[in-house]
Chains A and B, each alone.
Chain A
């Protein structure tokens, strides 16, 4: 680089530029937090949903599945699984309940978690809540 562009100019761009964009990011974050209640389905965030989220976390579901497209890519997207199962809570519960302990020979299989009826209800409520978040129409179709 030529001498017309000095080190102190580079330093000023660094400090000035990053400071400006940190502030802009904070402002956008502030605005986003204000806009979320209309989008994030928080009106349906019940105790059951919160308990379901905890179960989701404490069984590391994200280690195989994606949720709203984030997670691992080994197993199907679950952000819209409630809709994919025809909004049938019992079908989702039956699926989770019926996973074979020893897996399926040669195929991927979800582990058997031995959830109680109450836990299954909580998980389903969490999945229902997730499916009603306004995701700008993602995923493109029901297959996730």
Chain B
């Protein structure tokens, strides 16, 4: 760590870890509710647990992105953070707002929460992933603006690198597209059309810029490969991301009341969406192969490689699987979608945040890397989480194929609930894989907090 102010990232990473564990706990609850329908009913109905699961994911990833920015922007810009105090203040604002929202979900009936928070004045609640009360959404905007101001001032008054420019573009895009969450017309088709401007243009657009720049930063630092080469890759990857991903939004416009020409635009462009992910994999492997030094943090390098591979599999391959409109006609809104969602989020965004945490937290503690023992534990967490996520995805894909066949494709289509019971074996197996994933999460966290007994922790020169 070169600048004192980079250490504000620690707070953000800590919160991210805690919320990650919470997210997975609720995932386990949801998985159980899939096979034991009355589990925790009516205290924590499925919709509440799901809201907690998905919202915690979004919030902890945002904490992770912010932590990553606070860590890497000063170092890239060659100066202290513009205002570490503002960063700390916004951390607490975001954490308290987030915690209150989650507690609200859990302890107040959702309609009561809507009433309490005045949803009638500016109705924005009750849409998937955007369930937060309007006042929480306004809080997110305030936090995002303060964050962008803080990071932006650091970038503008410091050395500008391609990494920080791409990161800033992604972060500004994230904030701008979030504003569409305030647009909720009565017309369901328009509502859905612009809802995707938040959801799709986030995860298949600007978030990929954030992902690529964080990964590029970690690769520059751990491999010592020439910045010029890495920056060229970065530009071409994000170029392909936006060239394919923006019109790729069309793959959500097949069946929601929008013109049928979207089936062509959506199919063609989203069929190209795996390209940037494939390039990301090539980039990571090439860079690591041509490394000019052996970085002592082996775990971080493993996470970086894993991100590239799993993002390609989850977002690229599993996305392609159901993106062509004739296929999507049958798979739309089935367990296939859930399978893709799980591996894509894990492979792209969860793993990149774990990568930067793995790389930066030891440095913020004055070590180059954790002790070998703790790195081994962390690598175990990598394999447990990654392999179990592969299985979760395969089981959900199996469930999805059967569901699509029984409910939508066979000559005698069966009712939704009838089909759900027939495929419950897959849900049980998914739940078992989910428990393994939880073990991985626990090991990941422990690897940072258990005493680092060995003496070979390389101290960083002051």
Q: Which residues of A contact B (CB under 8 A)?
A: 1, 5-7, 10-11, 13-14, 17-18, 21-22, 24-25, 28-29, 31-33, 35-36, 39-42, 45, 49-50, 53-54, 56-64, 66-77, 101-109, 111-113, 129-130, 133-136, 138-144
Cross-chain contact A133 with B110 (CB below 8 angstroms): no
Contact A107-B409, Cβ < 8 Å, known A13-B236, A17-B243: no
Contact A5-B232, Cβ < 8 Å, known A45-B187, A144-B416: yes
Q: Is B383 an interface residue (CB 8 A)?
A: no
Q: Is B408 an interface residue (CB 8 A)?
A: yes
| Minimal beta-carbon separation of B90 from chain A (angstroms) | 28
Cross-chain contact A62 with B127 (CB below 8 angstroms): yes
Cross-chain contact A69 with B263 (CB below 8 angstroms): no
Interface range on chain B (Cβ under 8 Å from partner): 35 or more
Q: Is B414 an interface residue (CB 8 A)?
A: yes
| Option from A62, A73, A108, A138 in Cβ contact (under 8 Å) with B417 | A108
CA A99 to CA B192, docked complex, whole Å: 29
Cross-chain contact A104 with B37 (CB below 8 angstroms): yes
User: 16 A-B residue contacts at CB 8 Å?
Assistant: A35-B259, A40-B257, A57-B119, A59-B126, A60-B125, A62-B47, A62-B126, A63-B131, A67-B188, A69-B256, A73-B333, A73-B338, A74-B33, A111-B45, A141-B408, A141-B413
CA A140 to CA B46, docked complex, whole Å: 26
Contact A107-B38, Cβ < 8 Å, known A36-B189, A58-B125, A58-B126: yes
Report B236-273 residues with CB < 8 Å from chain A CB: 236, 238-239, 242-243, 246-247, 249-250, 252-260, 262-263, 265
Q: Is B407 an interface residue (CB 8 A)?
A: yes
CA A130 to CA B186, docked complex, whole Å: 11
Q: Is B320 an interface residue (CB 8 A)?
A: no
Closest 5 CB pairs of A and B: A63-B47, A57-B126, A69-B333, A108-B37, A138-B255
Closest to A99 in B: B42
| Option from A7, A112, A129, A138 in Cβ contact (under 8 Å) with B188 | A129
Q: Is B380 an interface residue (CB 8 A)?
A: no
Cross-chain contact A7 with B235 (CB below 8 angstroms): yes
Chain A residues closer than 8 Å to B229, beta-carbon distance: 1
Q: Is B330 an interface residue (CB 8 A)?
A: yes
- Contact flags (1/0) for B218-229 with A, using CB distance below 8 Å? 000000000011
| Option from A13, A36, A138 in Cβ contact (under 8 Å) with B332 | A138
Q: Is B449 an interface residue (CB 8 A)?
A: no
Q: Is B278 an interface residue (CB 8 A)?
A: no
Cross-chain contact A68 with B42 (CB below 8 angstroms): no
Chain B residues closer than 8 Å to A140, beta-carbon distance: 329-330, 408-409, 413
Closest to A136 in B: B260
Chain B residues closer than 8 Å to A39, beta-carbon distance: 189, 257-259
